[in-house]
Structure 1
Amino acid sequence: METSFQINSNEPVNQQIYRILRKDIVECAIPPGKLLSEKEISTRFSVSRQPVREAFIKLAEAGLVQVLPQRGTFVMKISEQRVADARFIRQALECAIARRAAEFVTDEQLLVLEHNLHRQELAAQNEQIREFLSLDDDFHQLLMQVARCPLAWETIESIKATMDRVRFLSLSQVSPPLNLIKQHYLIFNSLKAHDPDAAEAAIREHLQEMVYSITPIAEQNRDWFDHP
């Protein structure tokens, strides 16, 4: 949990704390059931407790922690239903984005996307899982920019934290990065051909990967999931 991090003055403190704690939870550095101490975290970042409380509220909204009055704030187990809901919403949004991106994409934007894909391949070859996840996010965010709808990424960011926990677990167990890169190339090639139907089909299949991986991941990591 002790990831090196330094507060800067260019961004609200609560957002910085939220971001690093979100990363710790998503990357399994903080397990389900862990009590998050306001005092310990405020000491860790050398800040007052107020921005820590605000960060906890954002984490709760993202479905990562549960704030229990008089008891504390605990990291939640992964909810399969929340993952399914987020994937459904994300797929609906990104399918529309893919169609629009296929119409608007420029040669310069294709070069940027292709460069990102090359970096994904390098990260996968070197087993740099965290780097690959970051580049994966960058690829999808670039699609929003190509479609001239950057606000779409903010919407996706607000709902995908629980999905990201499954993504992190699945990369080493169920969905190897190289398979995901192949799917990214199908999306890229559809954009390059300016084919909205193919782009929508490619990204729909890509996001279906979560449907295929959730059950084996939950079975292999039962302590991490909330089994009703």
Structure 2
Amino acid sequence: MEDMLAGIITKLMKALSEALTSDYKELKKVTLDSKWFRLDDRKRKIYHKLHNVIMVLNNSWYKAYAGTYSDYLILFIALLEYINNVPAEEMQSNINMQGEYFNSFCTEALKEHFTRIHNKLNIEPVTLKDEGYYIDNYGAKVFADSRKQPALIIENGQRECKVLCAGVDMNGVPTVTIAEEDGNYCYRIPQELSKWIELIVGYKLYGIDKLPAMVKFYKHNGIWDAIIIEG
């Protein structure tokens, strides 16, 4: 059942993508063709059932990690909501304007989605000491100039440690705060691990805290990577 539902959703999202993609030869607004809204009773019931399964029985769909580019997932959900809420008679009586109406509806849905995820992380102001550093929430010293930040020592190509938090500075340098026996310390880590930190921050945007956790830093085929081994 899960595979069949995933297949239906994927096909609908692909169809939405194709229907809303311009040939880019000229700048113009692209809306759904009216055929998307010419629904007989059978088709409308299918949309209603999809809406019930995805939005009513599983109303936490938006908490799933859908990747960086989730626009068409949002549009798919907006389509289900639109068809579920607009009466059949009203839709059919003004069929040629439904593409415009839905365009406004899904634009608001996208706006609400990105407002929600952008508000997940609170940005706290920091006060720098005279030496050019501040103390993070775990008591570690973090320099504004990342060149002054000590590098994490990783011997023999791998190291396991408890990572309390992770981030990047204004220059895109990745850093982690690590718990050690004599205290907590912030370190620079290899630049390749920026992607791993982006993933951690991505989860955080969706309300999922991956850190603190035990993390293994290692080198694979000459490239640094990291994996959470114990949450």
State whether TM-score is above 0.5: no
Q: More strand per residue: 1 or 2?
A: 2
TM-score (normalised: structure 1): 0.30
- Where relative contact order (Cα < 8 A, 6+ residues apart) is larger, the structure is 1
TM-score (normalised: structure 2): 0.29
